Amino acid sequence: MKIGAVARRTIDPTAPDETVHPAAAVRPDDGLDVMREVAAGCRACDLWANATQTVFGEGRPSARLMLVGEQPGDREDLAGHPFVGPAGRILDEALHQAGIDRERVFVTNVVKHFKWRPSGKRRLHERPNPVEIRACRPWLNLELELVRPDVLVLLGATAAQAILGRDFKVSERHGELLPPLEPPGPRLLATYHPSAILRSRTSEERDAALRMLVDDLVVAREAIAA
Ligand code: SF4
Q: How far is the CA of 135 from the centre of ligand 1 (A)?
A: 7
> What is the full per-residue pLDDT of the chain (226 aa) written as tens digits?
554 545 444 444 444 444 689 999 999 999 999 999 999 999 999 999 999 999 999 999 999 999 999 999 999 999 999 999 999 999 999 999 999 999 999 999 999 999 999 999 999 999 999 999 999 999 999 999 999 999 999 999 999 999 999 999 999 999 999 999 999 999 999 999 999 999 999 999 999 999 999 999 999 999 998 7
Contact 126, 114 (CB under 8 A): no
Contact 108, 143 (CB under 8 A): yes
CA–CA gap between residue 158 and residue 164 (Å, rounded) = 10
Going by alpha carbons, the residue nearest to atom 2 of ligand 1 is 136
Q: How far is the CA of 94 from the centre of ligand 1 (A)?
A: 28
Contact 38, 23 (CB under 8 A): yes
Contact 33, 15 (CB under 8 A): no
Counting ligand 1 atoms within 8 A of each CB, the residue from 113, 115, 140, 141 with the most, and so the one to mutate, is: 113
Q: How far is the CA of 138 from the centre of ligand 1 (A)?
A: 10
Q: Which residues are 178's β-sheet partners?
A: 188
Counting ligand 1 atoms within 8 A of each CB, the residue from 43, 47, 110 with the most, and so the one to mutate, is: 47
Ligand 1: list residues with CB < 6 Å.
39, 42-45, 47-48, 54, 111-113, 132, 135-136, 139
CA–CA gap between residue 116 and residue 61 (Å, rounded) = 30
